[in-house]
Amino acid sequence: MTTMAADAGAYEAVFDAALAADERIEPRDWMPDEYRASLVRQMAQHAHSEIIGMQPEANWITRAPSLRRKAILMAKVQDEAGHGLYLYSAAETLGTSRDELLDKLHSGRQKYSSIFNYPTLTWADVGAIGWLVDGAAITNQVPLCRCSYGPYARAMVRICKEESFHQRQGYELLLALSRGTEAQHAMAQDAVDRWWWPSLMMFGPPDDASAHSARSMAWKIKRHSNDELRQRFVDICVPQAESLGLTLPDPELRWSEERGHYDFGPIDWDEFREVLRGNGPCNAQRITQRRRAHEEGAWVREAAAAYAAKHGEAQA
Amino acid sequence: MTAALALGDDALVLSHRLGEWAGHAPVLEEEVALANIALDLLGQARVLLSLAGDEDELAYLREERAFRNVQLVEQPNGDFAQTIARQLYFSTYQELLYERLARGTGPFAPLAAKAVKEVAYHRDHAEHWTLRLGDGTDESHERMRRGLDALWRFTGELFEPVEGCEVEWHTLHDAWLTRITSVLERATLAVPEGPRRGGWAAGAGRQGIHTEPFGRMLAEMQHLHRSHPGATW
């Protein structure tokens, strides 16, 4: 064994011991290359999801039907930009710059959550996104507050607080529609019908088909399996849908005494794969808008850099 | 309340225009900053419109001719430089106006005292970008110059007295021009020349005379609310 290999072995032992003791790994700590790469991949995908996720909701800012709702929606979209900022910063602690990650998003080499490839067709979709999509995101993300990588875990604590606020606002928006006029109730039901199944897909493929799951769990980046989290989400949503006075579009949904959970029908994984592959209703539109905003903003970023260079100012 | 409508509509309309940037800003920090300014303005608009009546009825059920905002705030975003030029002109004006209203004893003093702190940040944000763009690259300098020029003709209206606002409009104007001149000089930009208002005797925004893009903006803003008469949201 060479000295270097022996050193690496010693570092790895320290890393493994930290994981075993549920301690946080910090940016300056030694970590396996694959651990680093896996974290960057996950944090980047999360950051990209936040900024792409602004689009379907921003679609309704200019049409929000009351000033109160408009303020809530603007604040929510702003929070998402803020989450993108924290997450790109957290990824920078692993030595990967925001520019590099954005470049990978724009060129299709990194992904964002497929849920944002669905369109927001009515105002009620804003509520359905809050209730279901943010609800699913929280179910996924709360365990990340205990993720083994310190900067990611800390960013998630703040993000989860804001997300749970968004989820309540979405629920409240749908409740107002459900209890409103007949047309408003129908709008709410239609939105829930369209967003339910895509929300269940947000937890990713079934455990036996998930590419990164086992390793991420061993590294304590991930704490629960996709199927466990999906079941948890369904169990939370069913009684909430009843309180909303809305139905969920699954005839097989029923309480199982035996399992102590709700049973639900099969998920259309063909649709999931198609949307993931780029064939969803909005994949092209989302990435085109993102690229355009970036390209059209190039002269602004160049100006800020030139000014900073001339005046020794810290860059914006 | 003429003044509540005038000031409230200014804030409402500019907030809406800034909201159009969501998802399109040149850098993530500006997504946050522009939304922040839009939210502050929307908060001000809600307080002001509530002084004049029901905020949603006023925002969603008035026709174009009943809006009392200055034409400056309804101008389309254009590029980022034009948005910054609009913000520089308006926030500088709004800060000076609100400082004066805050010192007074009128009905707007409490709102103005709170809002002036927000507006100071908006003005600071616009000044910093004016400096960066004016003194950045050749392209940004040219774009900033064009933005400032294009909106110059809407700046005269800002200083038309608003009934119910007890301020000295002449000194407000002079303070505005001094401040703008100083920022533009530092940004290596010239103060635009040319008329500060249109030649049409009918007047402008404060008289309910708006520019063509405003009707489309309202159509988009009001359509959902108007499609469900009497509904609550």
Q: Is residue B73 part of a domain?
A: yes
Q: Yes or no: say if B118 and B40 are a contact pair by the CB < 8 Å rule.
A: yes
Does residue A177 contact residue A188 with C-beta atoms inside 8 Å? yes
Neighbours of A127 (CB within 10 A): 27
Interface test with B, best of A69, A72, A74 (most B CBs within 10 A): A74
Q: CA dist B41 to A71, A161, B6, B95, B221, Å?
A: 10, 25, 13, 12, 16
- Report yes or no: B25 at the A interface, CB cutoff 8 Å: yes
What is the distance in angstroms between the Cα of A235 and the nearest Cα belonging to chain B? 28
What are A45-65's pLDDT values in tens digits? 999 999 999 999 999 999 999
Q: Determine the pLDDT at residue B198.
A: 81
Q: Which domain holds residue B192?
A: 2-227
**What does the pLDDT read at residue A4?**
64
Q: Exposed/middle/buried for B3, CB within 10 Å: 0-12, 13-18, 19+?
A: buried
B72/A contact by beta carbon, under 8 A: no
Is B85 within 8 Å of B147 (Cβ atoms)?
Answer: yes
**Facing A297 at nearest CB: one of B22, B27, B136:** B27
Q: How far is A110 from chain B (nearest CA, A)?
A: 18
From chain A, the residues in CB contact with B42 under 8 A are: 67, 70-71, 74
CB atoms within 10 A of CB B180: 20
Give this complex's ipTM: 0.97
CATH number, position B167:
1.20.1260.10
Gap between the Cα atoms of A186 and A176, Å rounded = 12
Cα dihedral across residues A258, A264, A265, A269: positive or negative? negative
The yes-or-no verdict on residue A274 having pLDDT over 70 is: yes
The answer to whether position B233 is within a domain reads no
CB pairs A-B closer than 8 Å: 147
Chain B environment of A184 (Cβ under 8 Å) = 228, 231
| Alpha-carbon distance A6 to nearest alpha carbon in chain B (angstroms) | 44
User: What distances in angstroms separate CA A306 from CA A72, A300, A314, B30, B39, one per listed residue?
Assistant: 36, 10, 11, 18, 30
Please name the member of A81, A181, A183 whose beta carbon is closest to the beta carbon of B28.
A81
Answer whether residue B88 is part of any domain.
yes
Helices A150-178 and A134-141 pack at an angle, to 10 degrees, of 150
Q: Which residue of B has its CA nearest to A287?
A: B23
pLDDT tens digits, one per residue of A206-224: 988 777 777 888 888 788 8
Note the pLDDT tens digit of each residue in B78-126: 999 999 999 999 999 999 999 999 999 888 999 999 999 999 999 999 9
- Tell me the pLDDT band of A174, cut-offs 50, 70 and 90: very high
How many Å lie between the alpha carbon of A228 and the closest alpha carbon of chain B?
A: 33
Which chain B residues touch A78 with a CB distance below 8 Å?
Answer: 22, 31-32, 35-36, 39
- Residue B20 falls inside a structural domain: yes
Task: Output b/e per residue, A149-165; b: 16+ Cβ within 10 A.
Answer: bbbbbebbeebbebbbb
pLDDT tens, B40-49? 999 999 999 9
The reply to whether residue B135 touches residue A307, judged by beta carbons under 8 angstroms, is yes
CA pseudo-torsion sign A222, A228, A230, A233: negative
Domain count, chain B: 1
Window 135-194 of B: residues touching A by CB (8 A cutoff) are 135-137, 139-140, 143
β-bridge pairing A261-263 and A254-256: antiparallel
Determine contact: B17 vs chain A, CB below 8 A: no
Q: Is residue B232 part of a domain?
A: no
Is B16 inside a domain boundary? yes
B114 located within any domain: yes
pLDDT mean across residues, chain B: 96
Query: Lowest-confidence range among A107-116, A216-225, A255-264, B132-141?
Result: A216-225
Nearest beta carbon to residue B232 from set A62, A88, A180: A180
* Maximum Cα–Cα distance across chain A: 76
Is residue A185 over pLDDT 60? yes
